[in-house]
Chain A
């Protein structure tokens, strides 16, 4: 039932708005709204019950294991939320003078410094509001750098075929042509293809490392050399930073610009699809191009650096300073972990991933890159299961929901057929991983003994398989009363 269907004309929450209608007579009548506003007329309790019940129809980290590859679904510590929501932080207006926000700015400055140290970059700007925006601004900085040198013939960005879809979409948004390069049998970028692709037209390379195939690009130093020698710059997509946190720094791998998904590696909540936050880090030569504002600490005071301080900045991305409240949550998280806790993130993410890979392999699942170490994630391919039983990766994913597990990422990366990309994250215990393996074994048995049970899953969710084709063909995006 929709909230609108709980409504009754004339029902109101008297404590949630002014007691009397206001005098709005000074607004010219031609500008006054005449159409009724179709917000629900419900009581406070109706609304509270309705949205509490809706929440119960969701899977979440707080209720289920989420082995969702490339998404780093780790525990979101509650302290990060409650401390970011202290009343003074919530009430602070974005245009309030810097002198009234020194405590807040101290957190932002220290977060910048910690992220610089963790990534090995020379500068960090906290403003991008999501991974895709971090990418956009990273590539825009690469473009601004080449243009500032009069090097305008660089029109191409190289992207491996295993990359996230945002990479090629971003390059196009920055006015570049995308050149896709292949992956070799071991899951690394095909070096011959890279060598053939670079040239005076190369503006840069976008790389995720470890890649979305769950393996560390062993040749990254060589790749960096090839691209740099051709005059291009290297972009690091920080989607998988969790796998190497405290082990390897993107700056040491030769990257010139990176983005960091705080909602992955730094445990800020996914919130059902945002808000994200994706600070960008840059090497020395890109410092002048960083997006503003950036926090500076001068003569004992914190202040924002603006276009006046960084005249070559590629500009602003949000009306204020990005997702400040998300940044506060990440700050609390890094202070709770500390340096020693941060080293452990990658260690235990790798331990969990390699253990789960070993156990699933023993249980009869085919690993896509069996000779490689898992990074913080790995790929299972169900190609032969599908050939034998007709059960697909999608079916297995949906059947996992019945067993109380969120599905792994399915059909991504696109180059491995019938794939499940599995990332357990460091915050899960051995018992949880063992129980997941048991559930996967049961599904494997079911695929052989009662394939229809798996093919028609899920059976225990609030709804059964939904008709995506109907949704796209008979568009129903807004409730109109029936």
Chain B
């Protein structure tokens, strides 16, 4: 009996104590007509050896590829210590830290995480994480509407990750919130404040500002933040946390700083893993802290005056406020944040800056090499962080398929999200790529584009 320790003797003794004849008796309150629990489509159990073999075969059949796709999930080196410590049973198999005295490890770590994220984003406070970047943006939109009070409009640039925009719609749709899409400059790949005036005429609760945006381009965050503030709206930054080691943090955008910063935490030590589990982060100005959803850890003292950590501001949350809570959110992504905190401690401030710098340098080097190929050019002129949209001389789907046959994932086909871009891909080269990797990619692409030359 997998994972069930009972001996026959135990079972009999326990039934005797209960006063039941059989285990079946324990289900005698369930109407017999409902007991149709046959599991005819669940296969028989496997031993650990058998399931290990099956999983290994499947993993090996999927294989490994040279990956140049980013699009919201980025390949970075993860120090060995990160997951060795994160998967210690005391982190891996512990519960939400409601019993604070028995959860000081997790609670202190989350307080350290909040401190690191506040510094990275330049904001006053951070929560203990959200599900992922996309759902964190949806929660930021709800938070902006709660704190604005008179408007339920959110201005959303088309340069925000297209799936984030879809997720925001799925989550806020039923609350009468209007998400208005803003056009971008087709030349630079950026949003320009002076083209937004028609959208700013009516009141709006928040302007979302991606940095870098989906195309990898850096937005003019200062002007955009001030534009939103001048219209009495909040500025919500959607940022890449690794990029923030190099770029002005949202808390310092414009004259007064963005009000809320969210993003995908995956680049901080979380494996790509087909899309999850990742974690979203959310930080904000002190004045908005009571509107922030999710768990928040506070430092306090115990009966003897020693320092300790607790979940705080729980009066916002569903288990206390029920239908009046700031959100229905119950969990954070505790284990992923454990990994991210250890990651940030291991790389430190200079390490993260160098990693971000290397990503930037590699992507520029890759672009320079790609642009030597005939018919390959950058789509946008705006400055970049570590990702770029390029156009190819032939349909992207064919080119990507040919690269895949050579075990290279050459980028994301932009047509999936922007139907006008038939020949365009989004490419990314992080710090994991060597000069030889870049040459390999460009060499293979060159052969595909001009065979035999």
Shortest CB distance A298–B (Å): 18
Chain A 457-482 near chain B by CB (<8 Å), digits 1 or 0 = 01001111111101110111111000
Instruction: List residues of B (160-190) whose CB comes within 8 Å of A's CBs.
Output: 161, 163-164, 166-167, 169-171, 173-176
Contacts of A83 in B (CB 8 A): 51-52, 55-56
B201 in contact (CB, < 8 A): no
Shortest CB distance B290–A (Å): 10
Give me 28 A-to-B residue pairs in the complex whose CB atoms sit less than 8 angstroms apart, sorted by A's number: A17-B355, A39-B116, A39-B349, A48-B85, A59-B99, A62-B92, A91-B272, A92-B62, A92-B272, A117-B40, A165-B317, A173-B327, A253-B34, A274-B277, A322-B275, A323-B276, A335-B54, A336-B46, A340-B44, A406-B95, A407-B99, A430-B14, A467-B303, A470-B300, A472-B314, A475-B312, A476-B299, A478-B126
Contact A468–B310 (Cβ < 8 Å): yes
Contact B298–A372 (Cβ < 8 Å): no
A338 in contact (CB, < 8 A): yes
A234 in contact (CB, < 8 A): no
Contact B39–A342 (Cβ < 8 Å): yes
A41 in complex: contacting residue of B338, B349, B353, CB < 8 Å? B349
Q: A130 and B90 in contact (CB under 8 A), knowing A16-B346, A166-B330?
A: no
A474 to B, closest residue via Cβ: B300
Contact B56–A32 (Cβ < 8 Å): no
A90 in contact (CB, < 8 A): yes
Contacts of B87 in A (CB 8 A): 81, 85
Stretch at the interface among A243-251, A385-393, A445-453: A243-251
Shortest CB distance A342–B (Å): 6
Contact A59–B103 (Cβ < 8 Å): yes
Contacts of A339 in B (CB 8 A): 39-40, 42-45
A95 in complex: contacting residue of B69, B109, B322, B358, CB < 8 Å? B69
A169 to B135, CA, bound (A): 17
Instruction: List residues of B (31-48) whose CB comes within 8 Å of A's CBs.
Output: 31, 33-37, 39-48
B331 in complex: contacting residue of A273, A321, A332, A477, CB < 8 Å? A273
Contact A218–B55 (Cβ < 8 Å): no
Instruction: Kindly list 4 other residue pairs between chains A and B, CB separation below 8 angstroms, not including A41-B348, A354-B20.
Output: A79-B51, A216-B29, A247-B35, A316-B170
A165 to B314, CA, bound (A): 12
Contacts of B85 in A (CB 8 A): 48, 51-52, 55
Contact B95–A336 (Cβ < 8 Å): no
A114 to B44, CA, bound (A): 12
A101 to B65, CA, bound (A): 11
Q: A316 and B167 in contact (CB under 8 A), knowing A93-B75, A336-B2, A354-B26?
A: yes
B299 to A, closest residue via Cβ: A476
Chain A 329-358 near chain B by CB (<8 Å), digits 1 or 0 = 000101111111111101110111011001
B392 in contact (CB, < 8 A): no
Q: A338 and B45 in contact (CB under 8 A), knowing A33-B248, A54-B105?
A: yes
Shortest CB distance B315–A (Å): 8
Contact A47–B81 (Cβ < 8 Å): yes
Chain B CB within 10 A, most for which of A59, A97, A104: A59
B366 in contact (CB, < 8 A): no
Chain A CB within 10 A, most for which of B6, B120, B164: B6
B334 in contact (CB, < 8 A): yes
Q: A37 and B349 in contact (CB under 8 A), knowing A88-B62, A335-B46, A472-B312?
A: yes
A319 in contact (CB, < 8 A): yes
A77 to B73, CA, bound (A): 28
Q: A478 and B125 in contact (CB under 8 A), knowing A103-B62, A316-B163, A321-B275?
A: yes
Contact B300–A471 (Cβ < 8 Å): yes
B246 in contact (CB, < 8 A): yes
Q: A3 and B125 in contact (CB under 8 A), knowing A32-B247, A90-B271?
A: no
B373 in contact (CB, < 8 A): no
Instruction: List residues of A (62-81) whose CB comes within 8 Å of B's CBs.
Output: 62-63, 66, 68, 71, 73-77, 79, 81
Instruction: List residues of B (84-124) whose CB comes within 8 Å of A's CBs.
Output: 85, 87-97, 99-106, 108-109, 111-112, 114-116, 118-120, 122, 124
B436 in contact (CB, < 8 A): no
A114 to B187, CA, bound (A): 50
Shortest CB distance B398–A (Å): 13
Chain A 110-133 near chain B by CB (<8 Å), digits 1 or 0 = 000110111010000000011111
B60 in contact (CB, < 8 A): yes
Q: A324 and B276 in contact (CB under 8 A), knowing A477-B296, A478-B115?
A: yes
Contacts of B302 in A (CB 8 A): 463-467
Contact B303–A275 (Cβ < 8 Å): no
B303 to A, closest residue via Cβ: A464
5 nearest A-B pairs in the assembled complex, by CB-CB distance: A338-B45, A320-B275, A62-B89, A22-B357, A271-B335
Chain A CB within 10 A, most for which of B116, B247, B306: B116
B345 in complex: contacting residue of A23, A40, A406, A427, CB < 8 Å? A40
Contacts of B375 in A (CB 8 A): none
Contact A132–B318 (Cβ < 8 Å): yes
B377 in contact (CB, < 8 A): no
Contact B67–A96 (Cβ < 8 Å): yes
Contact A319–B62 (Cβ < 8 Å): no
Contact B51–A351 (Cβ < 8 Å): no
A275 in complex: contacting residue of B108, B276, B358, B385, CB < 8 Å? B276
Contacts of A461 in B (CB 8 A): 101-102, 104
A135 in contact (CB, < 8 A): yes
B244 in contact (CB, < 8 A): yes
Q: A479 and B115 in contact (CB under 8 A), knowing A321-B275, A322-B275?
A: yes
Shortest CB distance A433–B (Å): 8
A30 to B383, CA, bound (A): 12
Chain B CB within 10 A, most for which of A23, A88, A429, A468: A88
A274 to B97, CA, bound (A): 11
A428 in contact (CB, < 8 A): yes
Q: A355 and B14 in contact (CB under 8 A), knowing A28-B218, A165-B322, A169-B327?
A: yes
Contacts of B44 in A (CB 8 A): 338-340
Instruction: List residues of A (232-290) whose CB comes within 8 Å of B's CBs.
Output: 244, 246-249, 252-253, 267, 269-277
Instruction: List residues of A (391-434) whose CB comes within 8 Å of B's CBs.
Output: 397-398, 401, 406-407, 412, 426-430
Q: A412 and B319 in contact (CB under 8 A), knowing A132-B328, A135-B328?
A: yes
A17 to B100, CA, bound (A): 35
A7 to B, closest residue via Cβ: B348
B438 in contact (CB, < 8 A): no
Chain B CB within 10 A, most for which of A53, A178, A246, A275: A275
B104 in complex: contacting residue of A100, A175, A462, CB < 8 Å? A462
B415 in contact (CB, < 8 A): no
Shortest CB distance A129–B (Å): 4
Contact A354–B335 (Cβ < 8 Å): no
Q: A38 and B276 in contact (CB under 8 A), knowing A270-B94, A456-B303?
A: no
A177 to B, closest residue via Cβ: B323
B333 in complex: contacting residue of A11, A274, A465, CB < 8 Å? A274
Contacts of A370 in B (CB 8 A): none
Chain A CB within 10 A, most for which of B41, B59, B351, B354: B59
Contact A355–B17 (Cβ < 8 Å): yes
Contacts of B342 in A (CB 8 A): 47, 51
Shortest CB distance A350–B (Å): 4
